[in-house]
Amino acid sequence: MSKILDTARKAGLDGFMLALLSMILLAWLWPEPGMKESPVPLSEISTYAVSVIFFFYGLRLSPDKLREGLTNWRLHVMVHLSTFLLFPLVALAFKPLFQGEENHTLWLGIFFLTVLPSTVSSSVVMVSIAKGNIPAAIFNASISSLIGVFLTPLWMGMVLETGAGQFDLLSVVGKLALQVLLPVFAGILLNKRWGYFAEKNKKYIRYFDQSSILLIVYTSFCESFGENLFSSLGLKDIVFLGMGMLALFFAIYFLLTFISNLLKFSHEDKVTAVFCGSKKSLVQGAVMSKVLFAGPQAGIMLLPIMIYHALQLIAASIIAQRLAQEAETERSF
């Protein structure tokens, strides 16, 4: 158990998750500072902070590491098909179960979760613990973030056109390109000169990243609580949502494991496939929610990804430990 808790801490599942819950509680108790009418523009501040997050992400992203992973194309195709095709198809299959306007809004939040890119840091951590292919994990997680700038709005446009009237896809992609792609590529270009600085201070950069996400979550939930969007959701609904998110994770995980075995992947590649292909990014979710769901709807849209984020870390921590033990046992024979 201590190993599992230690793994969870390394992946960010401890103080940060408690802080996220605290932000939601604070938004419920004191939503005024995060509302549009507030004299302090917290929402605008968080927008600029997002660009800084992705600049430092690009600064730590070595072009050499990306080139290392280019050759393993079967693994890459599998991961990205899972991230941007398999996940959304599962959500679409369950759409008929969400009848009524309020349930449709919740389904949109779940669908938003399924079209997000894979997470970067925790995927690489889990792959490392489970003795997987680390260069391939870095490649897939990094490319997933960039692909998501285009595919996530495209998927959401398909469902929001019928559910919310108008959706300006080009405008959304343009905003995300300015907030995400431009800072990332600027960081990559400066990697050789300043990359060592980012690596040396990655602990402090991580604190900045987490603080920015907390601010985004707070402002998003302030709007939602201010408009009483959560009045129809009770504890029972939250519990069922959590069970659904856990079932989604394990469904994707076991399916990817089955496909990896069919393709006769090595242990290293199978580990990378199941972890990179089954995880979703809370960071990207927080960023994209600000662009896609301006207004009080953003908070409820973030609820599924926040629950999934916590549960995926717990489940992945346990699985990573088991896979690491299996790898050690195989090597001993």
The whole domain housing 89 covers 2-324
* Domain membership flag for residue 332: no
* Domain membership flag for residue 329: no
* Domain membership flag for residue 330: no
- Give the relative orientation of helices 2-11 and 121-129 as an angle to the nearest 10 degrees: 150
Q: Which residue has the tokens 């600000």?
A: 290
* Domain membership flag for residue 333: no
User: Containing H/E element for 177?
Assistant: none
* Domain membership flag for residue 228: yes
* Domain membership flag for residue 331: no
Which tokens belong to 98?
């969400």
Tally of domains in the chain: 1
* Domain membership flag for residue 102: yes
**Does residue 300 contact residue 229 with C-beta atoms inside 8 Å?**
yes
pLDDT tens over the chain, length 333 residues: 566 556 656 555 567 778 888 888 898 888 888 777 777 778 778 778 888 888 888 888 777 766 766 678 899 999 999 999 999 999 999 999 888 877 888 899 999 999 999 987 778 878 888 888 888 888 888 889 889 999 999 999 888 854 444 567 778 888 888 888 899 889 888 988 888 888 888 888 888 888 888 888 888 888 778 777 677 677 788 889 999 999 999 999 999 999 999 999 998 999 999 999 999 998 888 888 878 876 667 788 888 998 898 888 888 888 888 888 776 766 655
CA–CA dist 213, 284 (Å, integer): 10
Which pTM does this prediction carry? 0.83
The enclosing domain of 39 has a CATH number of 1.20.1530.20
* Domain membership flag for residue 236: yes
CB neighbours of 132 closer than 8 A, spacing ≥ 6?
126, 267, 268, 269, 270, 271, 272, 275, 323
Which tokens belong to 46?
């968080």
CA–CA dist 55, 180 (Å, integer): 8
